[in-house]
Amino acid sequence: MNDPSSFYDNTDTASEGQVNTIPIPVEIVSEEEMAFIEAALASTRPLLSSTPSFSSSSLSSSPARLALVSALPSVLSPLRKPTGSLHSAACSRPLPVPPDIEDSAGPAPPKSLLHQFRSRRGLTVTDITATEWCEKQMEFVLLHGKPKRTEAMKAGSDRHTQLEKEVVEKVEVPIKSVEDSWALKFMNFIVGANQLMFEGLTRELPVIGVVEGVWMIGVIDEIRTPINEATLHPILVDTKTRYKATRPSEAQKRNARLQLMCYKYLWDNLVADTFPTDHFFNHFNLNPLYILSGDVKEYIVSLGFSAKTLEDVFTYFRDTCCLLSPSQGQLLLRRQILPLASLPSSRYELQSDHSLLEEYHFSYDAVWFKIQIQECLKFWLGERDANYVSQAERWKCQFCAFTAKCPLIATSNKRAE
């Protein structure tokens, strides 16, 4: 009963009373974070040094943007149910289940991977890039689970965390429903967009939209507004870290270009202010009139807004979108070398010596982007089987955890016959 693991046990009814008894340490700002903020205030932050001064003092009192992080939403962890059922009975409001989902006895044709694995959440930009890297690997990940993270991935994540902390202060907010979690996501967009407009830079900005008929979500690594230039159009940036000072392969660059083009597409669609709100609520099965939890409302107030329902948040969201400009056609990829001895223990001490390997500008290509997405979607929609990597990119298999299971490797090994 006092076992902390029972927090995630949804076999019992997840009543609201139970949720309320969870001892969540709600800290607006920890001492550590406060020290960081004060240090940030005292020191010059190069990326923000061009911040214009404002008559309003509210901005200077909060140098870092608040990002709201969902914390321990018991209704959102239905997958822990031991039955393996996708839709736990403990879920307060079960999502609509297609009528044929119980006909698992019959040899019904397999549903598309999109339907099986992403119908509730939509595709992520990461799904797109992973698919472009290798569809077969993507398929293995979906069917067999993700392989272990590599050290390079951990180091990359850490570097991104560092970059984010330069401009964003994270706050944990307890949530009780999916509506709460979407409200936080949209508030994070609103606050990030405001930070972009007033300070010229924001990081880790969540975006969402429909691409080729499919809902897609992502998090833009970085957006800057060139303050001193004539254009108001922000530029989208992504930082890639590397262990070795070798030049990235063409496949890696192509993959990163696709990623940034996804972000541009989503951003530009948001600022076009044509967001299909009703479609959104329907697709994700959300109640716009849902009353946000007290904690969520409280934090929204702390950001200077006032909202009772998810719909209220959407009003602010749409108002914000109207104020934004489409992004530049030029996208920016930054490559950064990590120190060789980047041991796990020293990963957090990289602040000095971020030698930049290269800054790589390239142009958005709407036609190429559309073709890439359509190819990816053929895989996701089950219109064709997963493709293997081309002969020229067979080297990717060296980095793949699924080679033992992969028919491509098996056939090439016994091609002797």
Partner DNA sequence: ATTGCTGAAAGG
Binding site for DNA (CB under 7 A): 69-73, 76-77, 79, 121-122, 124-126, 129-130, 133-134, 137, 144-150, 152-153, 155-157, 159-161, 206, 217-219, 221, 238-244, 248-249, 252, 255, 259, 396, 398-400
User: By C-beta, is 144 or 308 nearer to DNA?
Assistant: 144
> Whose Cβ is closer to DNA: residue 71's or residue 350's?
71
For residue 397 the two structure tokens come to: 């298999």
CA distance 85 to 106: 18
Please, what is the minimum distance in Å from the beta carbon of residue 309 to DNA? 21
Residue whose CB is less far from DNA, 392 or 416? 392
CB of 61 to DNA, least distance (A): 25
Helix (H) or strand (E) holding 205: strand 201-211
CA-to-CA separations, 214 to 112, 180, 221, in angstroms, rounded: 13, 23, 22
Measured from the CB atom, is 159 or 297 closer to DNA? 159
**Comparing C-alpha atoms, which of 289, 288, 266, 265 is closest to residue 278?**
288
The least CB distance from residue 130 to DNA, in Å, is 6
Q: Which two tokens stand for residue 233?
A: 């159009």
Look at residue 176 and give its three-state secondary structure: coil
In whole angstroms, the minimum distance from the beta carbon of 121 to DNA comes to 5
- In the complex, least distance from residue 88 CB atom to DNA, rounded to whole angstroms: 12
Residue 351: helix, strand or coil by DSSP?
Answer: coil
Give 144-149's long-range contacts (Cβ < 8 A, gap of 24+).
144/402, 144/405, 147/401, 147/402, 148/401
Report the distance separating Cα 264 and Cα 222, nearest Å.
11
The rounded distance, in Å, linking the Cα atoms of 80 and 88 is 8
**C-alpha–C-alpha distance, residues 269 and 85, integer Å:** 36
| Shortest Cβ 385–DNA spacing (Å) | 19
Is residue 304 within 8 Å of 316, Cβ to Cβ? no
Of 291 and 401, which has the nearer Cβ to DNA? 401
Q: How many CB atoms lie within 10 A of CB 303?
A: 19
> Quick count: other Cβ atoms within 10 Å of Cβ 221?
21
Looking at the Cβ atoms of 101 and 232, the one nearer to DNA is 101
Contacts of residue 417, Cβ cutoff 8 Å, sequence gap at least 6: none
- Find, among 256, 258, 32, 67, the residue nearest to 156 by Cα: 256
Q: Which is nearer to DNA, 244 or 394 (CB)?
A: 244
Query: Could you tell me the smallest distance in angstroms from the CB atom of residue 175 to DNA?
Result: 8
- Closest to DNA by CB, 59 or 142: 142
Residue type, 240: K
Q: Are strands 201-211 and 214-224 parallel, antiparallel or unpaired?
A: antiparallel
**Beta carbon of residue 306, minimum distance to DNA (angstroms, whole number):** 25
Name the residue with tokens 């992004």: 327
- Rounded to a whole number of angstroms, the minimum distance from the CB of residue 132 to DNA is 8
Looking at beta carbons only, is 51 or 181 nearer to DNA?
Answer: 181
